[in-house]
Amino acid sequence: MTAAAVHCTLPADLATELSAPVRMRDVVMLGDGSSAEVDIAGIMLTFEGRSVATTAVVDGDAHQFSVGRIALQQLGFEYDPTHDALVKRMPHVGWRATISLEEEPWTT
């Protein structure tokens, strides 16, 4: 089974070793077009100093962890298939910002 193109994939034995909490079961579409009901674990992923809370498909057949497209985008990276490389982009989530509840920005 592989759903790694979109989702991170976490081998079941590594999920157990890391005590990665299974958050839910869900149906995912696999690379061959079929679907499977799988466990989804919550993980914290850090790459090049950037961290993001994301999810991973727990896969009993996987032998290594793989990072999916969703997590790459959350970390601010994209895969460039033309050059077979990771490209830094602005992160889509996890912006570090200060929000003031004292002022309404649209009135200033």
Identify the band that residue 91 occupies on the pLDDT scale cut at 50, 70 and 90: low
Total count of domains within the chain: 1
Q: Is residue 58 part of a domain?
A: yes
pTM for this model (two decimals)? 0.68
Q: Which residues pair with 25 in a beta bridge?
A: 39
pLDDT tens string 17-38? 988 888 899 998 877 888 989 9
- Is 48 inside any structural domain? yes
CA atoms 90, 52, 56, 9: torsion sign: positive
Task: Give the domain range for residue 68.
Answer: 8-107
Letter string b/e over residues 47-61, b meaning 16 or more CB atoms within 10 A of that residue's CB: eeeeebebbbbbbee
| pLDDT at residue 97 is higher than 60 | no
pLDDT for 42-85, tens place per residue? 888 888 788 888 889 998 888 899 888 888 888 888 888 888 88
1 in a structural domain: no
Q: Among 81, 52, 64, 67, which residue's Cα sits nearest to residue 4?
A: 67
